Every structure is written in structure tokens, then in C-alpha cells.
Structure 1
Amino acid sequence: MSRSNEPPKPPARIGKPSGPAKNGTALDRIRAAKPAKPLASGLAKGDLLHAALAPSQRPRLVFAFDATASRESEWDTARQVTDGLFSALPGQLDVALAVHGGGRVHTFTEFSSDSALFRDKAASVHCQAGPTMLVPLMEKVRSQTGVKVLIYIGDCFEEDADAAFAAADALRLRGVKAIMFHDASSGDHRARTVFEEIARRTGGACLDFNGVRHDDLRDILQAIAVLAYGGVKMLEQRKAQLPGARRLLPFLG
């Protein structure tokens, strides 16, 4: 069989490569890469810090209250000074309101740094008759992420003390300090003993609530907010500017 007399076809034309070959050098790949976008251009240093602390990552604090029937006047007092939790570190600490009354934990709000929203939530809470529910409230706090401090205001304790101490140990393992305010007007000395032990086990503090002036309570809440944000070290650093820090530090475990 004779060979074809047709001339051979010219080789396919290879165009100029648009970029480095897959097996090019690392330098080739770097040169071909798109330039990186500038990081947060136009943001001030403080804005960068605030942006870095995303809502789910910012320190959290739970403000909890025993809103049983006998607590109406004390609840009114507490509501009037809650702005202290927000004024020390505006926009940098997320706070939730937790309330038990009527034999259940009936309020546990979303965490927020909005002081006006918190005040509105607090204003809608009313005291209800029923046994205390501190242990379930502590267990609810333990299930949250990022909580650094639990503030609790109460006058009575009608639950199992061992269960409360176990809940306190669990809080400490999560890095939560309990700041317990005891209202001694009820005459419930057992509550004081339990509150002090909860504070000791969590590295927190047990303070008197009754008889404290509004301004002093607001100062203490400001100090607690700083504690939640930066720990004891930051509180020590700011004690010259925060009267509440000087009152709180000696009690911290």
C-alpha cells in the first residue's frame, strides 16, 4: 500500500500563555496572584479592637435577680442603677438579664450591649410569689458561652445547698465568677452562708445589698463590668478611677 502524497499538517499553534504554568516557580505564582485587599482601611485603632471583639466573642455578663413576691422594692432599686453595667465599657460588654420568680426561671434575655434595650426588658419584669430557683438559674448560666461574671441579687435560699455548691463548681470550671448581693432584710442567715460559699467557690464576692446607696451600687456595678471584661488585673489597674473597684477588690476570692 503506497504512502499518502498529502503534505504533513502543520503543528497546532500554541498561543502565548496567559499566566504561569502550573509547574512554575513559587515566585511566578506570587507575581500572578491578585494583590491582597488592605486590612480594615480607614478604621481607627479603637475601631479595630471593637471589630475584633465580635458579639459572640466579647465578654459576657449575666445580671440575675430573685423576683419573688417580697422583692418588689429591691427590684425597683436594682433597675435604677443597671446603667452602671454599660457606662464603664460602652459597647464592649454583652449583658443578659436573668430572673426567677413564681417557682421558675421565667426570664433569660439575649446578650446585648444596648443599655436602652436592657432597661426596657428590666422594666417589663414583675415579682411573682414562689420558691427560689437559684440553682436552675446557675445551670442556665453554665450552658452559655463566654460568660465571665454572674451577678445575683437575692434575700432567701430555699433549695438544696449541695446542689448550689455543685453548680458553683461547674461555673468555676467555665471561668465564671459569681458576685452575690445578699439582702439581709429577710433575716435569712442561711442564704448568706450559701451565697458566701458560692462566691468562694467561683472566686467571686458576696456583698451586702440592703442599705447600699444608689450611687455606691452603680459604682460597684461599673467595677463588676470591668472585672468581666478584663479580669482582676484590669480592675487593679483602674481602681484609682473606679471607686467601686476599691470596694469590690478586697472581697474577691
Structure 2
Amino acid sequence: MTKDLDHSRVGEVAAFLKRTRAIQTVTRRQARLIFALDATASREPTWQRARALHGALFDAAASEASLSVQLCYYRGDAEFHASDWFSAPAALLDQMSGVTCSAGLTQISRLLSHAVGAGSTNQPVRALVFVGDACEEPVDVLLSLAGKCRLRQLPLFIFQEGCDEHARAIFKKMAIVSGGATIPLDIDSAKRLRGLLKAVSRFARGGIKALQESRTPEDKLLLEQLQNAP
């Protein structure tokens, strides 16, 4: 009886270890994408309307198979948050729903520094999606960090809310230097933006080839921006 019980336990342990190894293997193979938000006070007037769009954009990224997503945001007095890596949308959507705005300066350089150090040889970060409306930091610092992102094959995909021309010019330069793209964040075109982020997610998993093999208008648009980058 005891021997049978011992054999049963050994079998359960072996099965558990097998499942654990399988999960670890899948996790190691998952492409990684950072989804980042500016949660400073300048976005507060449109935050409630934009929150649903944030969720739709994030859900579009997190719903892609073999993609692990990290949520980052900054706000307030040098407050910066980076979540764990998740492949299940529900966990991070719960975190995102609790994010509120707080007055403070932009921390894009801090975000980029985090992104540069977030990957590894075995688990590189394939793309960074940033949603913001302003930039209050030295351009040379941001472009230097964007260059480091490019060296790590980490393109920046910047969704800009609003029409701040100063921010638009800097975001465009950052995207070009990193090998990424800029996309206007139009709350009235959520469906199109969701399609564009799905395109970014496909790029994160399969690179340029994945976009070339797709026939969606959003994939073609993103591919055109990436191919026109210097």
C-alpha cells in the first residue's frame, strides 16, 4: 500500500515538473513587448475617454499568441511603475484599470532606460508601445536612448494624443532613430488603432516578415513606415 502511494506521489511530482518545464519553455520563447503610458496631469481631461482606448490597445497586444506584455507608466513626483511580464490579458487589464493621472513631469528617458535594460539575449524586448501627449525632456538625451534601443533592435511605436507640435517633432525623431513609427491617437478611430497595435504585436513576434505576409491595411501601413525609416 505504502509503495503504491509512493509511486503515485512520484508520478504526480514528475508530471508537475514536466508541466513546469513546458511552461518555462513557452515563456522563454515568448516575444516581449512593453506597453507604456504617460499618466501625468496633462492627460487627465481626456483620461476617462482614453482609458477605454488604452484597454482596447493593450488587449490587442496581449491577445496575440506567444507574446508577453509588461505595463509601464509614469506620473506624479518621479513615480514610475513597471509590472511583471504577463501573457494573460486579464491580469494586466486589471492593473491598467486602476491607473489614474497625477501631476508631474514626463519621464520618457526613464522609461527608455528601463526598456533598454529589460531584455536579455534569451528574452529580448521586441517593441515598445508608448501612449503620451507631451515631452518635457532634453531632446539629445531622448535621441541617445532611442539610438540604444535601435542597437538592441527595440523599435519605439509612439501613439501621440493631442496636437502638441513640440512633442510631435520629438516623438517622430525618436521613432526614426529607433527604427519605429509614430501614430496619432485619435479616440474616434479606436478600431483602426486596435488594428495598428495588432500589427505592432505581429511585428514583435515575427518581425518585418510577419507584416509582409499579412494583408491587413494596418500591417501594410506600419510596414510602409518601417521601410521608409533611414
* TM-score of the superposed pair, with normalisation by structure 1: 0.73
After TM superposition, give the deviation of residue 69 of structure 1 in Å: 1.4
Worse-superposed segment, 203-212 or 217-226: 203-212
Q: Which amino acid aligns with 1:174?
A: R
Aligned with residue 213 of structure 1, among 174, 189, 210:
189
Does structure 1 residue 159 correspond to structure 2 residue 137?
yes
Deviation at 1:109, TM superposition (A): 0.5
CA RMSD of aligned residues (A): 1.8
- Distance in 1 (alpha carbons) for counterparts of 2:116 and 2:28: 16
SS in 1 for 2:182: strand
Amino acid at match of 1:69: A
Change beyond 3 A, Cα 1:105–1:200 = farther
Q: Which residue of 2 aligns with 1:46?
A: none
Q: Distance in 2 between matches of 1:171 and 1:245?
A: 22
Aligned to 2:55: 79
CA deviation map 1:216-242 (0-9, x unaligned): 11111111110000101111112x1x3
Matched, 1:128 2:102: yes
Does 2:32 match 1:60?
yes
Paired residue total: 198
Answer yes or no: is the 8 Å Cα contact 1:67–1:75 preserved in 2: no
Unaligned runs of 5+ residues in structure 1 are 1-49
Other structure's SS at 2:62 match: helix
Q: How far off its partner does 1:215 sit? A: 1.1
Return 5+ residue gaps in structure 2 as ranges. Answer: 1-21
Deviation at 1:134, TM superposition (A): 0.5
TM-score (normalizing by structure 2): 0.80
Larger radius of gyration between Structure 1 and Structure 2: 1
Distance 1:212 1:151, change over 3 A: farther
Which deviations, in whole Å up to 9, do the C-alpha atoms of 1:190-248 show, x marking residues without a partner?
A: 1111101111011100111125511111111111110000101111112x1x3421232
Distance 1:105 1:174 in 2: 26
2:80 aligned partner: 106
Q: What secondary structure, in the 3-state scheme, does the structure 2 residue paired with 1:97 have? A: strand
Shift of residue 127, structure 1, vs aligned partner = 1.1
Code of the aligned partner of 2:91: L
1:141 is aligned to 115
- Relative to structure 1, the CA distance from residue 144 to residue 101 in structure 2 (aligned partners, 3 Å threshold; closer, same or farther) is same
- Deviating runs (4+, > 6 A) in structure 1? none
- The structure with higher relative contact order (CA 8 Å, sep 6+) is 2
Q: Provide the C-alpha distance between the structure 2 equivalents of 1:105 and 1:54, rounded to a whole number of angstroms.
A: 32
Task: Report the secondary structure of 2:81's partner residue.
Answer: strand
